[in-house]
Copies of this chain bind each other. A is one copy, B any other.
Amino acid sequence: MARAAEGKGTRASKPRVSIIDCDIHNAVPGLDALFPYLPERWRRHAQTIGMRGRNALAKGHVYPKSSPEACRVDAWPSSGPPGSDLALMQHQHLDPLGIAIGILNCLVNLGPQLNHEWAAALSRAVNDWQVAEWLDKDARLRASIVVPYEYPELAVQELRRAARAHPGFVQVLILVRTQEPLGRPHYRPIFQAASEVGLPVALHFGGTSGHAITACGWPSFYLEDHTSMSQAFQAQLVSLVLEGVFERFPQLRVVMVEGGFAWVPPVMWRMDQHWRRLREETPYLRRAPSEYVRAHIALTTQPMEEPEHPGHLLDLLEMMAEGPKLMFATDYPHWDFDAPDRAFPVQIRDDARTQIYEANARGLYRL
């Protein structure tokens, strides 16, 4: 929405620390932009069938209409959607805000695609397009590998191929609302492969799972969807930890992008408490659930938590001081963008600032 974009500005003053922006959205302008990267069979498919997934009708719930593609009104290039024009991204975002490194999360609705071979072809094309149009054109950029994650065997093939293809791929991307909780055995090959090639797996806001977004069914408003999306992150955190994914893959790191982070300490407490009493159900866990969260999870800051009393944000950071790690993100070019110099509603300590704006991401992504 226009008002939203104005609410947090893009003031050009550079903050004092080097900034790694862990959530920038590059966008495929349209399926035809992928034609150079698609075999003939799938070019025809794109023209005759196109995207065909579960819950096509639910798309209206994802973003408000007044904010097409959920983007800032000032972020539309002369042609194509926001995030599709590297020059505008450089001019409007990377250069003036002094972004040292920006991590691209290209949101393609691969999860619900019903034709699994199309989903795989599309993911290959998007990744090749990212190499040619983004990674090879600006040394500040890194990118996430998109994969057809509901088809783990195909996802693993593409994950391994892309990881070998370009060193600029720094993680594997999954939209958070999957068809089953991600700790379930179905998805295990993806985490195994990511762990083996040494890439974190990022879970990003969005996706269409086929399930209602609440335990009590479908809510009425976009405002509720947007508020409740953090519950999908909670569910995935609980599932990954309690299914023992981190016990199986001790090198694996998972990044939660755009899901908030104030909910993390309450979920850690609740998991530990119930686990102490019910641990027989998950005998392979050798540590308290919260310890896996501390060791294996990172979260991005946007949308920043904004308590009525800003001091409560410091209490929250204190609760998270021993982990999990926070990493700064803007969500450019989306409407609820956080500018680096205005993201935190309260002064945070210099060492925490350095960790959040730069060091945590540098460590996690080996930058």
What residues of chain A have their CB less than 8 Å away from a CB belonging to chain B? Answer: 1, 3-4, 7, 64, 66, 176-184, 209-224, 226-232, 234-236, 238-239, 242-243, 260, 262-263, 265-278, 280-282, 290, 303, 305-309, 312, 315, 318-319, 335-336
Contacts and interface: CB of A to CB of B under 8 A. Distances in A.
A226 B235 CA distance: 11
Contact of A277 (B210, B268, B277, B336): B336
A216 B319 contact: no
Nearest to A209: B216
A234 B266 CA distance: 12
Nearest to A307: B269
3 A-B pairs with the lowest CB-CB distances in the bound complex, closest first: A214-B235, A262-B266, A215-B232
Contacts of A271: 227
A7 B307 CA distance: 35
A296 B236 CA distance: 31
A308 B269 CA distance: 7
B262 A265 contact: yes
14 contacts: A179-B216, A181-B218, A215-B231, A216-B236, A216-B239, A226-B274, A227-B242, A227-B267, A260-B270, A269-B307, A270-B305, A273-B306, A309-B319, A315-B318
Question: Number of copies of this chain in the oligomer?
Answer: 2
Contact of A181 (B216, B272, B303, B312): B216
A220 B177 CA distance: 16
The listed residue with most B CB atoms (<10 A of its CB), out of A66, A216, A236, A242, is A216
A234 B230 CA distance: 10
B269 A217 contact: no
Given A179-B216, A216-B180, A312-B319, A263 B260 contact: no
A239 B232 CA distance: 16
B216 A214 contact: no
Contacts of A262: 265-266, 269-270
B236 A221 contact: no
A143 B94 CA distance: 62
B278 A226 contact: yes
Contact of A215 (B212, B282, B312, B315): B212
The listed residue with most B CB atoms (<10 A of its CB), out of A224, A227, A266, A273, is A227
Contacts of A319: 307, 309, 312, 315
